[in-house]
Amino acid sequence: MTGKPRRAAAGTRGQGEGAATTGKPRRVTVTSPRTAAARRPRHPLTREIDEQTRLGEVYMGSLVRTQFRLALFVCTLLACVVGGLPLLFLLAPELREAELFGLPLPWVVLAGLIYPALVGGAWLYVRQAERNERDFADLVERR
Amino acid sequence: MSQIAAVVLVMLATVLIGAFGIRVSRTTSDFYVASRTVSPLWNASAIGGEYLSAASFLGIAGLILTFGADMLWLPVGWTGGYLVLLVLVSAPLRRSGAYTLPDFAEARLESMAVRRLSSVLVVLIGWLYLMPQFQSAGLVFRTITGAPPWTGSLLVAVVVATNVLSGGMRSITFVQAFQYWLKLTALAVPLAFMLVAWWSDGTPGLAPGDEWALPLHGREHPVYETYSLILATFLGTMGLPHVLVRFYTNPDGRAARRTTLVVLTLLGAFYLMPAVYGYLGHVYGMPESDTVVIALPGRLVGGPVGEFLTALVTAGAFAAFLSTSSGLTVSVAGVIAQDILRGGVRAFRVATVLAVLVPFALAGVARSLPVATVVGLAFAVAASSFCPLLVLGIWWRRLTTAGAMAGLLAGGGLACAAVVITITGGPHTGWAGSLLAEPAAWTVPVSFTVMVVVSLLTPSRVPRGVARTMVRLHTPETLNVDRGDWRPRFM
C-alpha cells in the first residue's frame, strides 16, 4: 500500500530536478518508438527481485554487499581506535602519565575527545548509507 | 527534607505524564508501540531517557572513583555501542517489522523454537538489568531517609508497575523523553556549581605520584578486563530488549538511522559528566560508593544552594530508576504476555506484575554489587546471545535455525552461568575470577563460532524465505518490491 504513492513521489522529485537543470517545467518524451520500447522493458528490475530471478538476486546481493562493506569499514576503524588505545597505553607506559591541557592524557581522550569522534563517524556513516540506498533505488527504477 | 520532596515530585510527575497517555492508547497495537507516531527527536530523547539507568547516573561515577581510569571505558562503550548498532543493525531491524527480539528471530529464522529461546533470554536479561535498579533505589532511599533499603525498592517497583499498567508504550515514550532532559539537567546544573567551587578552591589536582588516574591499573588482570569490558559494552547495546523496541516507533529504516545518530549525540553529551564527578570525588577524598553523585554537591557547595543541588541530583537518580525500569518492564512484560501467557491486554497486565515482582524479590536476596557492574553483566549476556543472532541474521544468508539455536544456547548459556556464579558465589580471585566477572571476551567469540560452524554443518536448514527476508531487511522503503507478508502478532 505505502510503496506506490512514495514511488510516485520519487518520480515527481526526479522531474523537478530535471526541470531545475534544463529550466523547463516538464520532461518531454522523445517520440521514437524504438526509444520508448527501450525505456519501458517488459520486466522492471523490481519484478526481477520479486520473482527472485538470477538477475534479481545479483542486484540484491550487490546492495547487501555494498552496505556490509561500509558497515565493516566503520567497525574496523572503530576497533582500531578502541582496541588500539589500551594497547598503546600498555606498550608505551609514558603515555599513561602524559598530560594535555593540564589534565592526564588518557582522561582527555577517554572522557572527552572520543565522544565527538563517535558522533562524527556516525554522521559520515548515515550520509554514505543513504547515498548507497539512493544509488540502488535509481539503478532499479530507472529502466 | 528537600530531597524527599524532590523524590515525591519526580514520582508524581512520572505518574501524571503517564496518565496523560491513557487517553491515546486504545487498541493493543497502540498499547505496545504508540502506533508509530513518535517524531525522531522525541524518539531519540526517549531512547536516551530509557537507556540512562542508575548505572549511568550513579554507577559510573562510583566505579571511576573506586577503580580509576579503566572505568572510563564503561561510558565510552555504552555510547559507542550505538555506533555499532547504527551500522550493523538499525535500518534492517526497523525494516524487518519486528518490534521485539523474539519477533526478529521468528521473522528471520521462521522458527518458533528460536523465538521461544529468544524470549527466555529477553526475560533473563531484563531481570538482570532490573534487579540492580531496584537495589540502588533502595540504597539511595536509605541514604536520604534512613529507611531500610527494601522500602525504596518497593516504592520504585510500585510506581513503575502503575505507570506501565495505566499507559502502555505511548505514555512511556512521553515519560522517557521527559526523563532524559531531567537527568541531563540534574547532572549538569550541580556540575556547573561544583566546577565554580573547585575553581575558587584553587583547582586542586591529583597528588604527585597518585596512580589512581593511570589506565591499566587497579584490578587484577587489567588488560584482559579492559578488553572484555569493551567487547561487552560495544556489542551488548544492540541486544538490549528495551532499546530495540524503540526502533519500531520510527516510520522507516532511514528514520531509524537518523534517530540513532541523534541518540549517539544525546548520550555523548550526557556521558561527558560522570567522569568529572568521579574525578572531583577522588580529588576531594569522597568515600568509594555508588552514592558519590548524591553526596558530592553537598560537599563542595554548602548552604541552601548545596541542599537544592543535592535535591536535584536525587530527583535525577529517581528519574533514572523509574525510566529504565519502566522501559525494561514493558519489554519483559510484552514477551511474557505474548510468548508465555496467551496474549491480550489482560495477559499483559499479569505479565507486568510478574516482570516487576521477580527482580524486586531478587534485589532483596542477591549480594549487593555496584550497580554498573551488574548492568555490565547484562550487557555481556546480550553481547553473547543477541549480538551474533542479529549480526549474522541480517548479513549472512547461510545462518540456519540449528546454528542460531546452538549459538544462543552456547553463548547465552555460558554468559548466564558466569553471571550466576559471580553474583551468588563471588567475589572470586585470580584468573577464574576475572574470566567470570568479565565473561564477554570469551563468550562472544564462542557464540559467533558456534553459530557459524553449526550453520555450515546444517545447510539444509537454511530458512526457505531467506531471499525474501533479505529483500525486506535491506531495500529502502521507497522501492515497490515484494517484502513478504510476515507481520508481528499484536496479540
The answer, yes or no, to whether residue A15 has pLDDT greater than 80, is: no
Complex-level ipTM beyond the 0.95 threshold: no
Instruction: Tell me how far apart the alpha carbons of residues B237 and B244 are, in angstroms, rounded to a whole number.
Output: 9
Please report, rounded to a whole number, the percentage of residues in chain B having pLDDT higher than 70.
93
Beta-carbon separation of A60 and B474 below 8 A = yes
Q: Report residue B429 CA to chain centroid gap.
A: 28
The answer, yes or no, to whether residue B244 has pLDDT greater than 60, is: yes
Interface test with A, best of B90, B199, B471, B473 (most A CBs within 10 A): B471
Q: How confident is the model at residue B327 (pLDDT cuts 50, 70, 90)?
A: confident
Q: Beta partners for A99?
A: A104
Contacts of B43 (CB under 8 A, 6+ apart): B173, B246, B249, B250, B259
Of B213, B260, B269, the CB nearest to A107: B213
CB contact residues (below 8 A), chain A span 4-63, against chain B: 4, 6-7, 10, 46, 49-50, 52, 57, 60, 63
Measured between CA atoms, how close is B474 to chain A, in angstroms? 7
Taking CB atoms within 8 Å and a gap of at least 24, the contacts of B114-119 are: B114/B401, B114/B404, B114/B405, B114/B408, B115/B339, B116/B339, B117/B405, B117/B408, B117/B409, B118/B386, B118/B389, B118/B408, B119/B335, B119/B336, B119/B338, B119/B339, B119/B340
Measured between CA atoms, how close is B214 to chain A, in angstroms? 6
Q: How confident is the model at residue B302 (pLDDT cuts 50, 70, 90)?
A: confident
Q: How confident is the model at residue B22 (pLDDT cuts 50, 70, 90)?
A: low
Q: Is A140 touching B (CB cutoff 8 A)?
A: yes
Pair B175, B14: CB distance under 8 Å = yes
Angle at B71 between CA B150 and CA B41, to 5 degrees: 75
Q: Beta partners for A104?
A: A99
Chain B residues touching A114 at Cβ < 8 A:
76, 80
DSSP B202: T
Query: Concatenated DSSP letters for A26-87?
Result: S------HHHHHHHS-SS-HHHHHHTT-HHHHHHHHHHHHHHHHHHHHHHHHHHHHHHHHHH
Please write the tens of the pLDDT for every residue from B383-404: 999 999 999 999 999 999 999 9
Q: Is the peptide bond before B476 cis (omega within 30 degrees of 0)?
A: no
Q: How confident is the model at residue B34 (pLDDT cuts 50, 70, 90)?
A: very low
The three cell numbers of residue B136 are: 540502588
Class of residue B64 by CB neighbours under 10 A (exposed 0-12, middle 13-18, buried 19+): buried
Q: Beta partners for A100?
A: A103
Measured between CA atoms, how close is B351 to chain A, in angstroms? 34
Give the 3-state secondary structure of residue B251. coil
Altogether, the residues listed in chain B come to a count of: 491
Residue whose cell numbers read 531484563: B126
- Going by C-alpha positions, the residue among B319, B359, B348, B358 that lies closest to residue B50 is B319
Please write the tens of the pLDDT for every residue from A17-73: 444 455 667 777 766 655 555 555 556 777 777 877 888 888 888 999 999 999 999
Stretch A70-94: mean pLDDT, rounded?
93
Of A50, A83, A125, the CB nearest to B482: A50
Instruction: Tell me how far apart the alpha carbons of residues B33 and B31 are, in angstroms, rounded to a whole number.
Output: 6
Q: Is A110 touching B (CB cutoff 8 A)?
A: yes
Query: Concatenated DSSP letters for B117-162?
Result: HHHHHHHHHHHHHHHHHHHHHHHHHHHHH---HHHHHHHHHHHHHH
Chain A residues touching B198 at Cβ < 8 A:
none
Please write the tens of the pLDDT for every residue from B47-87: 898 899 989 999 999 999 998 889 999 999 999 999 999 99
Instruction: Tell me how far apart the alpha carbons of residues B380 and B368 are, in angstroms, rounded to a whole number.
Output: 19
The answer, yes or no, to whether residue B263 has pLDDT greater than 50, is: yes
Chain A residues touching B275 at Cβ < 8 A:
107, 110-111
Stretch B298-322: mean pLDDT, rounded?
90
Chain A residues touching B72 at Cβ < 8 A:
106-107, 110-111
Of A104, A107, A118, the CB nearest to B80: A118
